Amino acid sequence: MKVRVLVILMLIIVSSCASRKDILYLQDAGTNNTSDITYQEVKIQPNDILKITVESLIPEAAIAYNSGNQGQAGGNSVELMQLNGYLVSNEGHINYPILGKISVINLTTQEIENKIKSLLIDGGHLKNPRINARLLNAKITILGEVNSPGTYTFTEQNITILQALGYAGDLTINGKRDDIIITRDVDGVRKISHIDLTSTDFMNSEFYYIKPNDNIIVNQNDPRVKQSGYIGNVGTVLSVVSFALTLTILLTK
């Protein structure tokens, strides 16, 4: 009787513990350590905020085309740049000084630079101007079993899912590493992908590079789910084991 109780309780404890397979990242990195990199250009969407600057051989000639970037003194923070940036309308336009409405929907920042440069040259505004366009309000939301869940902004052109999770302080020990959920809206269609961080295969996925407005969800792993259910934490399990042993000894005397 005592042996049977001990076996059952030990099985419960073992089943509630995480193994190395549940925790380690990129477990097949030793056999899959070389692959080509394909960067993905971010396409501009409604409600994006752009910073666009125009430079010319004669600086004074470009001032009028930078009026949308004029902020407060010392206003170089991202928040202030956003307030003074160009908001993309629901129709996909920005209202640019002198040039008027410019459609930027589904264009990359490089394509926007080329488009504004052509408008300035073809319209006889400036000769050989230099244009610089940047997306200011790229953001992602990370929820679940991470150390710092929340919404994070970034200004890099390309960030990976690993970098994104780094913003949130990495997964907790209870995070489910083999089933990270990513939701993404593309041209009015919502895509949902499941990423396995324990394998290098996800590096070849279209979801390896994170896009603005992506949502990343890290669910609890099985041991954590079991702990939050009928088993409880290790301390609780040990208390149950001690009580069961004491009860068994008393009943079998």
Q: Give the pLDDT confidence score for residue 72 in this predicted structure.
A: 47
Same domain, 33 and 90: no
131 with 121: CB under 8 angstroms? Answer: no
**156 or 69, which is more confident:** 156
Tell me whether residue 112 is in a domain. yes
Does residue 34 register a pLDDT over 80?
no
Report, as an integer, the average pLDDT of 92-97: 95
Cβ density class 102-134: b for 16+ within 10 Å, e for less = bebbebbbeebbebbbebbeeeebbeebebebb
CATH code (residue 180): 3.10.560.10
Domain that holds residue 246: 2-16+231-252
Same domain, 195 and 238: no
Residue 44 domain flag: no
Do 12 and 27 belong together in one domain?
Answer: no
Angle 2-15/234-252 helices, nearest 10 degrees? 170
What pLDDT shows up at residue 75? 53
Lowest mean pLDDT among 7-21, 150-164, 189-203: 7-21
60, 29: one domain? no
Task: Kindly state whether residue 185 falls inside one of the protein's structural domains.
Answer: yes
pLDDT on residue 73: 45
Q: Are residues 151 and 117 in the same domain?
A: no
Higher pLDDT, 217 or 158: 217
Predicted pLDDT at 79: 80
- 60-82 average pLDDT score: 73
The mean predicted confidence, pLDDT, of the chain is 81
Tally of domains in the chain? 3
Q: How confident is the model over 114-138, as pLDDT tens digits?
A: 999 999 999 999 999 999 999 999 9
